[in-house]
Each structure stands twice: as C-alpha cells, then as structure tokens.
Chains A and B, each alone.
Chain A
Amino acid sequence: MIEIDRRRFLAGALASGLATAVAVPAEASGGEATYVTAIRNADGSFGVAVLNADGRLLFTESMEGRGHGATVSPDNATAVVFGRRPGRFAAVVDLAAGKIVRTIPAVEGRHFCGHGLYTPDGRLLYATENAYELEKGMLGVYDVAADYRRIGEIWTGGIGPHETLLMPDGKTAVVANGGILIDPMYGRQKLNIATMEPSLAYLDLESGEVVDKMELGPERHQLSIRHISIDGDGAVWFGCQYEGPKTDQVPLIGKHMRDGEAEMMSAPARVMRGYRQYVGSVATSRDGTLVATSSPRGGVMTIWNCASGTIVSEAKIEDVCGLAPDAGNAFFGTSGTGLVFDGDKDLARYPGIAFDNHMRMV
C-alpha cells in the first residue's frame, strides 16, 4: 500500500520555492482529453471551467448559480452542467466554441439535483430532478434537437435522486436515490432524516419502469447513496454520506452487480474514519480496473482495485473532491483550494478558484 501525503509534499515544495501560484492563460484546446467542472470564482460568483490534460484552464464561463455535476454528449461537442440542488437551471456548454449556448430552466414544481446523462444517440438528455410536492425523485426527459425542450419524466423509484449514469447496455439508467427530501422553500434543509430510504435503482429508459432496485436495509437507512461509477465488469460502485451519529462506524463505499446483493468494501478503521462519513465523488479509471473515491471533509482520496476490492493507494489532499479518469490508468482530480492534479503529480494551482465536487472527462 502506497501512502502519498500530499499536504506534506506541498509543504516541502513551498519551502523549497518550487510550487508557485500559476494561473495559466486560456487558449484553444488541442483536441486532447479535456475536463469540464463547475467552479466558484474568487469574487464568490459561480461558473463552469474546462481544463486540458495538463491542468491548463482553457476557458471559464459564468453561470447564474452554483453548478454541480456535468454530462458530455456522445459526440463530445456539448457538455451540460446541472445546477446544484435545489438548482433552477442547467447550462449547455458548446465545448468547441467555449461558450454557454443555452440555459435550460427547471419547470414548475421541479428542481435539478446536479446530475444527468445523454442517451447513446445523443437525442435525449435525462436529468435527476426532485418533484418536491409529490415527494418523488424524477428523471426529467429533454429533447436535444428541440432546444432541450422537456418532453416528459420518469419516476426514479425513490426520493432525492442524485447521480445517474447509463449502464453499458445503453438503455438502462442507474440512479442513486439519496433518500433525502428537500423542499426549495426551506433551501437545502434535510426534511426526512428519521425516515430515509436510500436506494440504487435501475430504470429502463424506454418503458420508464424501475426494473431492479437495491436497498441497504433498515439498519443502514441513513446511509445516503449519492455518487456512482461503473467499472469494467459493469458493477456499479457507490459512495455514501451518512446522516446518523458521528461516532457510528459505517462502511461508505460499496459495489453492486445488477440483480445481486450489495458488497460493502471493508477497509481498515483508520481509512474509513478519514472519510468523516462522507464520500464526495466516485470515478472509474480508463481501463475499468480501478475506482477512486474522495472525501473533501476528510481531505482523502482512495484508489480501489475493482476485482479484489483492496486498496491500491491513498492520498491526503485538502478539500479534494472532483475525480475523473486520466489518459493513462490513473486519476485526474481537483480540489476546493484550486489544485489540479494527475496521479501523484500536481499540475496547477489556481488561487481564488474553488473547483466544485465533480469533473467529467470529454
């Protein structure tokens, strides 16, 4: 097991004058892998940023509020950044032009929950939404060709849907129903902690039916399933946030193969304590054999071997959250302190920019 203490590494670099605060000027993308993420600017305003694989900021655009996750169209031409729950907008970004070309407003009685997906043909966009009056999670359906007009919605099989991804079959969506109810009238206040029922639901996008559902059981009903990633074998890795007492020792990371039981990852107590009961992001490596999980609360990131469920490496990185595969078989990541890294190499540090929870590779 390799432990990289990034804080120590940075402190050393600072003392030797190696790490200089660099804001690299924006320039056009060279066609290599790029990354899209929501940010907070130095003046407190919010936006979206696109970085290249070297950590260079290609462009930033301002948004009307705080964004959260993004999804990229199959042709890699467009990204949609969803407003953070209770978000009232989703921003459509033209990646070649470096511009937000459209803002999708939330419809009456619904708000965005921060994540979504495109169908493989790029014709439809699905967004996780909260129908707060009905107390139901929804996937809102948007017709891309018709200027992202909302043409319908399907029930996610639970409350508080968060991240959603398309399964490898190209027609089933997996949704992490966090189980937490909010109502925009009360902001982000969690209204049903005593009665949460989180689940991982599989939805047939054509019929709109919930075709499979995994629940963690009554003893773990306060373990909110929030972030997911699919590994090379088609197993869904999920990261949870615990709403119960701080002193409870609960597993936070698990994997689920459709139609099977959830398998929670066992790790030394020291490792799980480092998560402070909170997983912020989950991502799979390019070859599908590794999964990375991060916790900004604990300032830790862990890489897991998908097949064995064992820990490959750990790192301490202040306020780390955003994770995506890099061009090799490691992970590209960001933090709320403006750091961009690739594997164990720091690429850049942007003073004043706080990178938000998620990042998506284009």
Chain B
Amino acid sequence: MPFVHAALAFLLLAAALPGAAAAAPADAYPRIVERTITEFIRPGYNRLAAEAKAMDAATSALCSEPSKETLSAARGQFADLVDAWSRVELLRFGPVREDNRYERLNFWPDRRSLGLRQVQRIISTKDESAIGADALWDKSVAVQGLGALEFALFGTGADELAEPGAADFRCRYAQSIAARMAATAGDIAADWTKADGFSAVLLQPGDDNPVYRTHGEVVQDLLRAMTEEMQFVRDLKLVAIMGEDARDANPRVAPFRRAGLTVAAIKANVESVLAMFEKGDFISALGEEDAWLSQSLRFEVGQVFQSLGQVEDDFGKALRDEEKRKFLDLVLLSLHGAKESIGDYYAGRTGLAIGFNSFDGD
C-alpha cells in the first residue's frame, strides 16, 4: 500500500506543476546518453577524422601532380570535410575543448579578418615555419583549420595550384593544414573512444563524477548543445550576415563563402541537431501523448531546408535581394520553432528546463 500512496503523490504533484512531465520514464536518460555517444558523437568524429585524412591525401596528390583534376578533387574533398565538421560543430564540450582544438579546427568568426591576414602573410612570405602538422600546432589557431585551408584552396591566386610549380609553397601549406586537422580530429575521435575518457564522465554521473551528479544533468547539457546550435546558426550565421535590410547585408563574412559552401554548411548544422535528437532517441523520455514532437521537429527542419533551397544558388546575391530575403526570414522562423520544440517544450515536459540565470547568465 505505501507504494501506491507514493505513486499517487507523485502524480498529484506532477499535475500541480505546469510543464512537469506526467509520464517521463526517467530511466530513459542513461540510454539516451549512451545512444548519443555511440550513434551520434563517435561516428561524427570518426567521419571528421576520416575526411580530414582524405583531405591530407587529396592535397598530397595535388602537390605531387598539380593539375585541374587534382585541384578539383581537393576542392571536392574540402566540401566533404566541411560537411563532416558541420555535423559535429554543435558539440562544444568534451575532448574538442582540450587545448583549443575547437578553434584549431575552425576559427570562426574571423572578425576583422585578423586570421585571414595571418594566412595571407604565411603564403606571401612563404613562411617555412608553417609547414608540417607539428609546426602548425605552435602557430595561431587561425592558421591551422578550415578557414585557412579554404583560403589556400579557393582564395585569390588559388587557381595557380593547378599549374605545375606555380604554387608549390601554397600547396605544401594546404597539405600541412590538412595533416594538422587529421591529427587534431584523430585525437578527438580517440579520446571519445577511450573507456575512461569523457564518455565515462557522461555515462557515469554521481557524487565522484567531476561534472555530473545525475543522468538528467547530462541530458540537460545535450539539450543545451542542440538549442544553442539553433541559436548559433540563427544569430551568427544568418542574422549577423543578413543585416537590417538588403543594403545592410554583409555577404563577405558568410562562413565558407569562398568555397560556395555557406548554405551547405548551415544545412548540415541544422540536420545535425535533428540527427542527434533522433539517433539519441530523445523522444523515448516522453510519453505517447508527446510522440508528435518528433514529427514537429522534422517538419521545422524540412521547412528550413525548403527555404534555404530557394537561396542556395547564389547566397551572396540572395542577401541583397529583398524578395529572396523573405525566404531567409522563413528560415529564421523555422529555426526559432525548432529551438522552442527542444529547449522549451521537450525540456519543460521532462522537467529538464534550464533556469533563467543558469541558461544564460553573465
């Protein structure tokens, strides 16, 4: 009998607190954390490491046999590398935060082009101290990641990479960046695989855990990563670049604009949130009555894709076109909807909502 009383008391309490979950199976959390690691995080970083390795091979081939074909292959591989990065970019915790690896892989935004200028100086002065994966580790984070590689492969003068002997140093620098990224991404992937590494911190919360007391706290941080990514894409990758109106737009600072990958990278960012939610089976923490949430999130992401499809051909031009900008406004709306689904509805229903000051204090 006391058992029944306790259950009844729980239900009454849940009913009295608006937003609290009525039917959330709390034992869903350990499985969600485990699935997120094994189905989303590890495969994501393994792919990043593999694409960076392939980038290393593609730039090596380009340097040993410069031609239109090898340059085109290297540029194609860069698109795959950006895609792989964009799908783990939302993970701003764990091994990627050691030794500034996150910034080493992608230093962005490069405000006032400070990083770009360092990259240009390395190329123009043929700075041999920037050659080699190990040498790059000691350089500024701005000259060893995707932004630097993009400039090397797509920036002013990059077409010379196809002409034998014309851009030897630039090619060796591009290859060094690829090798550096392969090493950095490989280290992150290895750290996530270690049994006693950060995976264990997420999987074994408790009083002795340096970060987490409960699985719920871990899930809360995973939710935070997803909602922050929606916010990040919205505020930094779109609103900041769109400006107030068409005349105020700032297409020059769009991420990966030289490679023409701005929209592709944003799509991968948004899709990664949905992938994390689905592969982690986050919906399993909610009851039957909330099953529609998955559909709703899918719908919002679909809307983002559809609207972005309308501006994909020439993103820079679309930013300056009042009619095309209406599609971008729809993207902002859908991103907001997707963020609310996870950050407000899901977090509220599971009781994992993050407090006002805890979420974003100062």
A residues adjacent to B (C-beta < 8 A): 40, 68, 84-85, 114, 133, 162, 183, 185-189, 191, 193-194, 226, 244-247, 249, 270, 273, 276, 278, 280, 296-297, 299, 318-321, 335-337, 354, 356-357
Contact = CB atoms under 8 A, between A and B. Distances in A.
A247 B362 contact: no
Contacts of A247: 198, 201, 210-211
Nearest to A269: B210
Contacts of B211: 246-247, 273, 276
Contacts of A189: 109, 232, 235-236
Interface stretch (B28-36, B59-67, B97-105): B97-105
A247 B94 CA distance: 8
A270 B357 contact: no
Contacts of A280: 357, 361
A356 B355 CA distance: 11
B111 A186 contact: yes
A114 B362 contact: yes
Given A189-B235, A189-B236, 14 more contacts: A40-B356, A84-B362, A85-B362, A114-B362, A186-B109, A189-B232, A296-B358, A297-B358, A299-B358, A318-B355, A319-B356, A319-B357, A319-B358, A320-B357
A319 B94 CA distance: 24
Interface in B107-134: 109, 111-112
B356 A336 contact: yes
A280 B359 CA distance: 12
A288 B112 CA distance: 45
A12 B361 CA distance: 29
Given A85-B362, A270-B207, A186 B357 contact: no
Contacts of B361: 278, 280, 296-297, 321, 357
B103 A193 contact: yes
27 contacts: A85-B362, A133-B112, A162-B362, A185-B111, A185-B240, A186-B236, A188-B360, A189-B232, A193-B103, A244-B97, A246-B201, A246-B210, A247-B198, A247-B201, A247-B210, A273-B211, A280-B361, A296-B355, A296-B358, A296-B361, A297-B358, A299-B355, A319-B357, A320-B357, A336-B358, A354-B357, A357-B357
Listed residue (B235, B236, B250, B356) with the most chain A CB atoms within 10 angstroms of its CB: B356
A245 B355 contact: no
Interface residues of B, number: 27
B299 interface: no
A152 B357 CA distance: 33
A134 to B, nearest CB: 11
Contact of B111 (A183, A270, A356, A357): A183
B355 A68 contact: no
Contacts of B357: 280, 296, 319-321, 335-336, 354, 356-357
A185 B112 CA distance: 11
A187 B234 CA distance: 11
A191 B111 contact: yes
A194 B103 CA distance: 7
B8 to A, nearest CB: 13
Contacts of A321: 357, 361
The 10 closest A-B pairs by CB, nearest first: A319-B355, A336-B356, A296-B357, A354-B356, A336-B357, A194-B100, A296-B358, A321-B357, A336-B355, A245-B97
A187 B240 contact: yes
A185 to B, nearest CB: 5
A83 to B, nearest CB: 11
Contacts of B94: 245-246
B60 to A, nearest CB: 28
Given A85-B362, A245-B98, A336-B358, A186 B240 contact: yes
A215 to B, nearest CB: 19
B21 to A, nearest CB: 17
- Would you call the interface of chain A mostly helix, strand, loop, or mixed? loop
A296 B360 CA distance: 10
A269 B105 CA distance: 32
Interface in B73-119: 93-94, 97-98, 100, 103, 109, 111-112
A247 B200 CA distance: 11
B356 to A, nearest CB: 3
Contacts of B141: 194
A246 B240 contact: no
Nearest to A338: B356
A275 B205 CA distance: 16
Contacts of B97: 244-246
A270 B355 CA distance: 22
B117 to A, nearest CB: 15
A223 to B, nearest CB: 14
A75 to B, nearest CB: 28
User: Which interface residue of A133, A183, A296, A335 has the most chain B CB atoms within 10 A?
Assistant: A296
Contacts of A357: 357, 361-362
A243 to B, nearest CB: 9
A319 B353 CA distance: 11
A320 B361 CA distance: 11
A193 B362 contact: no
Contacts of B355: 296, 299, 318-319, 335-337
A193 B100 contact: yes
B199 to A, nearest CB: 12
Contacts of B210: 246-247, 249, 273
A191 B358 CA distance: 21
Contacts of A193: 100, 103
A133 B114 CA distance: 12
Interface in B181-238: 198, 201, 207, 210-211, 232, 235-236
Given A244-B97, A247-B211, A187 B198 contact: no
A191 B109 contact: yes
A280 B360 CA distance: 11
A297 B361 CA distance: 9
Contacts of A191: 109, 111
Q: Which of A84, A245, A297 has the most CB of B within 10 A?
A: A245
A68 B362 contact: yes
A183 B250 CA distance: 15
Nearest to A270: B207
A219 B355 CA distance: 31
A278 B361 CA distance: 9
A296 B97 CA distance: 22
